[in-house]
């Protein structure tokens, strides 16, 4: 029996899931049936994370308890800080994040529950691990911004929301309300996106009953690539290269003639504009109006989108989530190489939701292959080769 080979497993169902869905023709992304645009406007990251983990919108008391749990797990043991302080400051923050998250299991334990075969039936264990990881991911990313510049990190505060505390830990300032609103919405928008590369990596790792810390470390490593989460940093670099709006047309013509990538444009799942990009663009305008001016890089992005709509729109290529997220973070004063770690701080909620779903009916992933190598042959002694 032979199987059809589809590069990248394009269109091959890898699992059954009720966590999120995409309508690529209509440009709709939904978490547990709720449109992402409505969640970004009305929900919070804490509420959205619990929705993804448990499957339904929580009541007020349930949400308050979850929020309390997250606030109580923000601190890190000093030995984890020591590990971070001894990492090369020239390394990419995603490499640091993967290292730090993988090390968490050595300090907080819990993998023995999985090795004993309790797996998806132990909802309390899964929830506890999820809270620890979601909370500490943001702490690790924020602390690194100070550690890599030679300073002691800022301690987390339990009187702030998830988005507020993250922004506070990044620069030590009381966060601006609009900046908090935008960051919280960004965390909601990036929290989940069906079976993408990093989520699939988490599922494969989770199917072996590896500890949740290693599951998330596997996902972080996958998210780091420029064809996945690293694209938002490339978008900003690309727009800087273009320089000004009036340079867009010639730059795009040259780029397309060379068949080079237009970072932030196109998505395998969407035939229209990514709904998350639409929300981010609106927030970018709101930020610009609050500052009294739209930045040149945002104006360049708008002009490039317009040019790409003419050149690439007929092919179903439109802006994806990475196109505007990096620009927005840049305008908020966040270092470019922190854009993808922030993506991870958000997407960890979706990864953990899929980890939980995988454990509920687990079977280790073991795909097959189409062998293209040599036929069976005899070993040749080295003096006869």
For the chain, the maximum distance between any two Cα atoms, rounded to a whole number of angstroms, is: 78
**CA distances in angstroms from 319 to 188, 226, 255, 272, 368, listed in the order given:** 18, 16, 16, 8, 35
Tokens of 274: 């990514």
Count of residues in the chain: 385
Cα 339 from Cα 369, distance rounded (Å): 36
Q: Is 42 exposed, middle or buried (0-12, 13-18, 19+ CB in 10 A)?
A: exposed
Three-state secondary structure call for residue 263: coil
- Catalytic residue numbers read 267, 322
Which residues, in sequence order, are CB contacts of 53 under 8 Å at separation 6+?
127, 130, 349, 352, 353, 356
HSE-up (13 A, CA, CB side) for residue 284: 25
Strands of the sheet with 28-31, listed across from one edge: 20-23, 28-31, 34-35
What DSSP line would sit under 151-169, residue for residue? -PPPPP-TTS-HHHHHHHH
Query: Using the 8-state DSSP alphabet, how is residue 246 labeled?
Result: G
Phi-psi sector, 9: left (phi>0), alpha (psi -120 to 50), beta: left
Tell me the pairing of strands 20-23 and 34-35. Answer: unpaired
Tokens of 227: 């064809």
Cα 192 from Cα 36, distance rounded (Å): 10
């Amino acid at each position: 029996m032979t199987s059809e080979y589809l590069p990248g497993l394009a269109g091959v169902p890898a699992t059954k899931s009720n966590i999120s869905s995409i309508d690529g023709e209509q440009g709709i992304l939904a978490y547990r049936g709720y449109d992402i645009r409505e969640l970004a406007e009305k929900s919070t990251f804490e509420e959205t994370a619990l929705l993804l983990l448990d499957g339904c919108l929580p009541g007020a008391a349930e949400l308050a308890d979850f929020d309390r749990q997250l606030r109580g797990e923000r601190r890190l043991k000093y030995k984890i800080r020591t590990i971070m302080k001894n990492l090369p400051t020239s390394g990419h923050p995603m490499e640091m994040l993967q290292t730090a998250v993988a090390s968490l299991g050595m300090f907080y334990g819990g993998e023995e529950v999985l090795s004993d075969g309790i797996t998806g039936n132990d909802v309390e264990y899964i929830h506890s691990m999820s809270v620890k990881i979601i909370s500490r991911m943001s702490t690790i990313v924020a602390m690194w911004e100070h550690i890599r510049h030679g300073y002691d990190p800022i301690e987390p505060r339990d009187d702030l929301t998830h988005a507020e505390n993250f922004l506070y830990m990044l620069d030590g300032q009381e966060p601006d309300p609009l900046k908090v609103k935008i960051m919280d919405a960004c965390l909601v928008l990036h929290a989940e996106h069906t079976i993408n590369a990093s989520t699939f990596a988490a599922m494969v790792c989770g199917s072996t009953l590896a500890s949740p810390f290693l599951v998330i470390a596997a996902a972080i490593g996958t998210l780091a690539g420029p064809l996945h989460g690293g694209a938002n940093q490339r978008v900003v670099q690309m727009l800087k290269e273009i320089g000004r709006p009036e340079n867009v047309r010639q730059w795009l013509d040259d780029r397309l003639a060379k068949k080079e990538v237009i970072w932030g444009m196109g998505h395998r799942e969407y035939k229209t504009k990514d709904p998350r990009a639409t929300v981010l663009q609106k927030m970018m305008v709101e930020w610009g109006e609050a500052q009294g001016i739209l930045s040149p890089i945002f104006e360049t992005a708008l002009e490039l989108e317009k040019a790409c709509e003419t050149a690439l729109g007929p092919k179903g290529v439109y802006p994806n989530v990475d196109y505007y997220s990096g620009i927005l973070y840049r305008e908020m004063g966040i270092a470019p190489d922190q854009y993808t770690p922030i993506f991870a701080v958000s997407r960890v909620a979706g990864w953990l939701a899929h980890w939980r779903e995988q454990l509920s009916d687990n079977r280790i992933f073991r795909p097959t292959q189409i062998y293209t190598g040599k036929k069976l042959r005899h070993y040749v002694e080295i003096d006869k080769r």
